[in-house]
């Protein structure tokens, strides 16, 4: 791919605000002049990522992830630096006139082949629904209150009672083995057949909106399983995908809330009534991968699983997984054992919104679950119930929520609040605080001198020139690379600026992280020439000391007398140099 020029990248960066960009991916909280977020690059429970609108950089004080707006998009979306630049260029309306840039977003060739197959099949099914053969299926969808607009939005199609899909794909040169691996076709002797017959087809998508599978539903009274789903394949892993993720991203950020349901039909039904900030786990138990994806959408999570016993069990599992990553979800439990699809059809949108606006807390959900097993005429049951709920109270960090929860439990059981508090480990609860900058670890004077010299090189061209004229190299290899990059940047641009320098480094993450770590030091803004000279002398002394220690080790290991004499002479020369 042709290299995008630094000046073009800088032009794109100048039109962006890193706070606005990151806020599209993560909920932000302002503290002083900076913003903070739960870091998406490690298992973070407290806001440890700082975003500086002044410097246009982000830094995590725990895992060290840092960089500019391009680095964030690159690392968050797991795309190349060039792809991140292209994405943000489109955002600000800058056209990149690079012939090969369009290839930057192409996937691995083997995977692309699979995506292309699914895309062909999806279009084939959609054409079937639009044809004369799709009339009955369309009528069925309309009866289910799924409009033509929703049919188009969710790419709903139809498989027919023949094997034309397999014939069509093989005529296009598709390998039968690939079709079988993807669950589109089956193979019986010399005969290739379609897996899906006479079903309304709902495409399933990956996080980028690529079709990776299907769910087919009977509609004509057939005596078969209601749904038939694609088998898992190299591109379709239900445990790491959320249905409708690619559509829900913007809606979740606008509403600052994400609703999680079980089935794709629940998503479609809620979308029919204008509730679009919804994703589905597609019927599987929520996984750690699901939880991480949900956290990216919003920290305000509402679980609305099916209203039956299985839905309650799934809700309990989801709560546990989400709490492990620091999210306390709200919960909706629908009456009459209905799922969201059935509920909206039967009770209408307003009834669902009432549930949504009054979603219960985790504590209330667990109280309700425990109450079903308790005989409130039995004092031992009440005691066991209070002790069990005390463990849940121990997890509540907000002191107001804690106090209200204790009062509720006290009212329900008749047990005094002070008695309930006695079973809770930490009272009162303290609100989790945003993480402050870490303290600098203890380092030798030689290490400090190198880092402090880099710190002032990032701020002052005179220091760059002093380095160029007086320092041969730095003993720390990473810092030595950074120094050389600074010299290169200054040689080309004739100025220095930390943010612009990180853009110059592009995707050299190790260098960027180290630059921004050093840049975060709280050193005096003003420095003197003598200070810089002292740093340089200390660096020279460190190099000299390192060389002496190296030669001493060689002398102790050397058995050849002549070679040992040469080494001793070298050591004597270094000692003389040290005395000057």
Give a yes or no: residue 290 inside a domain.
yes
- String of DSSP letters for 6-70: HHHHHHHHHT--HHHHHHTTS--EEETTEEEE--TTTT-SS--EEEETTTTEEEETTT--EE-HH
**pLDDT-based confidence at residue 69 (cuts at 50, 70, 90):** very high
- Tell me what percent of the residues of the chain surpass a pLDDT of 70: 92
CATH number, domain of 59, equals 3.90.580.10
Nearest to 83 by CA among 104, 103, 98: 104
Give a yes or no: residue 550 inside a domain.
yes
- String of DSSP letters for 326-395: T---EE---GGG--HHHHHHHHHHHHHHHHHHTPBPHHHHHHHHHHTT--TT-HHHHHHHHHHHHHHHTT
103-140: burial string, b at 16+ Cβ within 10 Å, e else? ebeeeeeeeeebbebbebbbebbbebbeeeebeebbee
Structure tokens at 50: 């700082």
The dihedral through the CA atoms of 397, 425, 405, 334 has a sign that is positive
Please identify, among 197, 214, 236, the residue that sits at the C-terminal boundary of a domain: 236
CB atoms within 10 A of CB 11: 13
Give a yes or no: residue 428 inside a domain.
no
Q: How far apart are CA 435 and CA 445, in angstroms?
A: 28
> Structurally, how many domains does the chain consist of?
5
Q: How far apart are CA 83 and CA 507, in angstroms?
A: 11
As beta bridge partners, residue 193 has 186
How does strand 330-331 pair with strand 301-303? Answer: parallel
Nearest to 202 by CA among 246, 151, 165, 163: 151
Q: How far apart are CA 28 and CA 40, in angstroms?
A: 12
Q: Are residues 297 and 384 in the same domain?
A: no
Mean pLDDT of 76-96: 85
**Higher-confidence residue: 253 or 431?**
253
What burial class does residue 299 get, using C-beta atoms within 10 Å of its C-beta: 0-12 exposed, 13-18 middle, 19+ buried?
buried
Model confidence at 209: pLDDT above 60? yes
Model confidence at 101: pLDDT above 60? no
Largest CA distance in the chain: 99
List, for residues 338-382, the tens digit of each pLDDT value: 999 999 999 999 999 999 999 998 888 888 777 777 777 777 878
Question: What pLDDT was estimated at residue 254?
Answer: 81
Q: Are residues 567 and 483 in the same domain?
A: yes
461-486: burial string, b at 16+ Cβ within 10 Å, e else? eebbebbeeebeebebeebbbbbebb
Give a yes or no: residue 478 inside a domain.
yes
Poorest-pLDDT segment among 124-128, 131-135, 475-479, 553-557: 553-557
**Higher-confidence residue: 101 or 303?**
303
CATH number, domain of 502, equals 1.10.860
Please identify, among 74, 105, 136, the residue that sits at the C-terminal boundary of a domain: 105
Question: What is the 3-class SS of 500-526, one letter each residue?
Answer: HHHHHHCCCHHHHHHHHHHHCCCCCCC
Poorest-pLDDT segment among 268-272, 326-330, 505-509, 538-542: 538-542
**pLDDT-based confidence at residue 6 (cuts at 50, 70, 90):** confident
Give a yes or no: residue 438 inside a domain.
no
Q: Are residues 100 and 180 in the same domain?
A: no
Model confidence at 429: pLDDT above 50? no
CATH number, domain of 132, equals 3.90.980.10
Model confidence at 105: pLDDT above 70? no
Q: Are residues 123 and 84 in the same domain?
A: no
Structure tokens at 246: 């690619």
Give a yes or no: residue 437 inside a domain.
no
What integer best gives the mean pLDDT of the chain?
85
Mean pLDDT of 333-339: 94
As beta bridge partners, residue 147 has none
**pLDDT-based confidence at residue 104 (cuts at 50, 70, 90):** very low
Please identify, among 47, 76, 105, the residue that sits at the C-terminal boundary of a domain: 105
Q: Are residues 331 and 377 in the same domain?
A: no
Give a yes or no: residue 473 inside a domain.
yes
Q: Are residues 374 and 280 in the same domain?
A: no
Model confidence at 427: pLDDT above 70? no
Model confidence at 576: pLDDT above 70? no
**pLDDT-based confidence at residue 107 (cuts at 50, 70, 90):** very low
Q: Are residues 450 and 565 in the same domain?
A: yes
Nearest to 315 by CA among 352, 342, 340, 350: 340
Q: Are residues 115 and 178 in the same domain?
A: yes
**pLDDT-based confidence at residue 43 (cuts at 50, 70, 90):** confident
Question: What pLDDT was estimated at residue 250?
Answer: 79
Q: How far apart are CA 569 and CA 470, in angstroms?
A: 26
Poorest-pLDDT segment among 47-56, 368-377, 502-511, 516-525: 368-377
Give a yes or no: residue 432 inside a domain.
no
Model confidence at 1: pLDDT above 60? no
Question: What pLDDT was estimated at residue 80?
Answer: 83
Rg of the chain over all Cα atoms, to the nearest angstrom: 31
**pLDDT-based confidence at residue 102 (cuts at 50, 70, 90):** very low
Question: What pLDDT was estimated at residue 273?
Answer: 95
Q: Are residues 222 and 120 in the same domain?
A: yes
Q: How far is CA 231 from the centre of its chain?
A: 26
For residue 325, the enclosing domain spans 240-355
Mean pLDDT of 511-540: 88
Question: What pLDDT was estimated at residue 340?
Answer: 96
Contact 63, 69 (CB under 8 A): no
* Rounded alpha-carbon distances, angstroms, from residue 291 to 32, 213, 286, 297, 421: 30, 22, 7, 10, 32
Query: Strand, helix or coil at 168?
Result: helix
* Stated length of the chain: 580
Question: What pLDDT was estimated at residue 8?
Answer: 87
Q: Are residues 455 and 475 in the same domain?
A: yes
List, for residues 216-237, the tens digit of each pLDDT value: 999 988 778 889 999 999 889 8
**pLDDT-based confidence at residue 407 (cuts at 50, 70, 90):** confident
Q: Are residues 230 and 259 in the same domain?
A: no
Model confidence at 442: pLDDT above 80? no
Q: Highest-confidence range of 28-32, 386-390, 444-448, 480-484, by mean pLDDT? A: 480-484
Q: Are residues 118 and 182 in the same domain?
A: yes
Question: What pLDDT was estimated at residue 100?
Answer: 38
Question: What pLDDT was estimated at residue 45?
Answer: 77
What is the DSSP-derived secondary structure letter of residue 239? G
CB atoms within 10 A of CB 327: 20
Question: What pLDDT was estimated at residue 106?
Answer: 44
Contact 206, 200 (CB under 8 A): no
């Amino acid at each position: 791919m042709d290299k995008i020029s630094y000046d073009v990248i800088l032009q794109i960066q100048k039109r962006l605000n890193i706070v606005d960009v990151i806020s599209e991916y993560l909920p932000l909280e302002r503290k002083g002049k900076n913003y903070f977020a739960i870091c998406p690059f490690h298992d973070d429970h407290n806001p440890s990522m700082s975003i500086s609108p002044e410097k246009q950089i982000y830094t995590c004080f725990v895992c060290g992830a840092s960089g500019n707006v391009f680095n964030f998009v690159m690392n968050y979306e797991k795309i190349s630096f060039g792809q991140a630049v292209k994405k943000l260029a489109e955002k600000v309306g800058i056209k990149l006139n690079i012939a090969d840039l369009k290839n930057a977003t192409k996937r691995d060739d083997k995977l692309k082949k699979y995506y292309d197959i699914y895309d062909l099949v999806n279009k084939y099914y959609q054409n079937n629904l639009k044809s004369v053969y799709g009339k009955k299926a369309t009528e069925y969808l309309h009866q289910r209150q799924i409009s033509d607009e929703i049919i188009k939005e969710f790419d709903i199609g139809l498989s027919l009672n023949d094997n034309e899909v397999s014939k069509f794909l093989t005529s296009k040169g598709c390998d039968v083995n690939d079709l079988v691996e993807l669950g589109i076709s089956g193979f019986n002797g010399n005969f290739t057949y379609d897996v899906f017959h006479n079903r309304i087809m709902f495409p399933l998508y990956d996080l980028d909106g690529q079709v990776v599978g299907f769910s087919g539903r009977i509609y004509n009274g057939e005596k078969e399983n209601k749904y038939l789903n694609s088998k898992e394949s190299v591109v379709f892993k239900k445990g790491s995908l959320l249905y409708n993720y690619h559509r829900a991203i913007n809606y979740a950020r606008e509403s600052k809330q994400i609703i999680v349901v079980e089935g794709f039909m629940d998503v479609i039904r809620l979308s029919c009534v204008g509730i679009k900030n919804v994703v589905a786990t597609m019927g599987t138990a929520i996984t750690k991968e699901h939880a991480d994806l949900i956290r990216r959408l919003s920290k305000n999570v509402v679980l609305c699983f099916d209203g039956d016993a299985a839905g309650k069990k799934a809700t309990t599992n989801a709560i546990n997984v989400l709490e492990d990553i620091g999210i306390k979800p709200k919960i909706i439990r629908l009456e009459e054992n209905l799922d969201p699809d059935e509920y909206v059809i039967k009770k209408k949108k307003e009834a669902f919104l009432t549930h949504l606006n009054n979603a219960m807390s985790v504590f209330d959900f667990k109280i309700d679950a425990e109450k079903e097993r308790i005989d409130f005429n039995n004092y031992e049951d009440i005691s066991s119930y209070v002790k069990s709920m005390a463990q849940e109270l121990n997890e509540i960090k907000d002191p107001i929520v804690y106090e209200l929860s204790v009062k509720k439990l006290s009212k329900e059981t008749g047990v005094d609040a002070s008695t309930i508090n006695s079973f809770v480990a930490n009272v009162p609860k303290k609100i989790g605080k945003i993480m402050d900058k870490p303290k600098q670890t203890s380092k030798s004077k030689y290490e400090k001198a190198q880092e402090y010299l880099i710190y002032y090189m990032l701020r002052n061209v005179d220091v760059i020139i002093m380095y160029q004229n007086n320092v041969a190299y730095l003993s720390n290899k990473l810092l030595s690379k950074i120094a050389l990059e600074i010299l290169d940047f200054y040689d080309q641009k004739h100025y220095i600026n930390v943010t612009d320098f990180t853009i110059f480094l592009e995707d050299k993450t190790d260098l960027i992280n180290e630059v921004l770590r050093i840049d975060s030091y709280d050193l005096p803004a003003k420095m003197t020439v003598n200070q810089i000279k002292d740093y340089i002398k200390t660096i020279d002394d460190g190099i000299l000391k390192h060389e002496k220690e190296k030669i001493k080790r060689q002398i102790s290991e050397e058995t050849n007398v002549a070679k040992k004499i040469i080494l001793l002479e070298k050591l004597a020369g270094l000692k003389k140099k040290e005395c000057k």
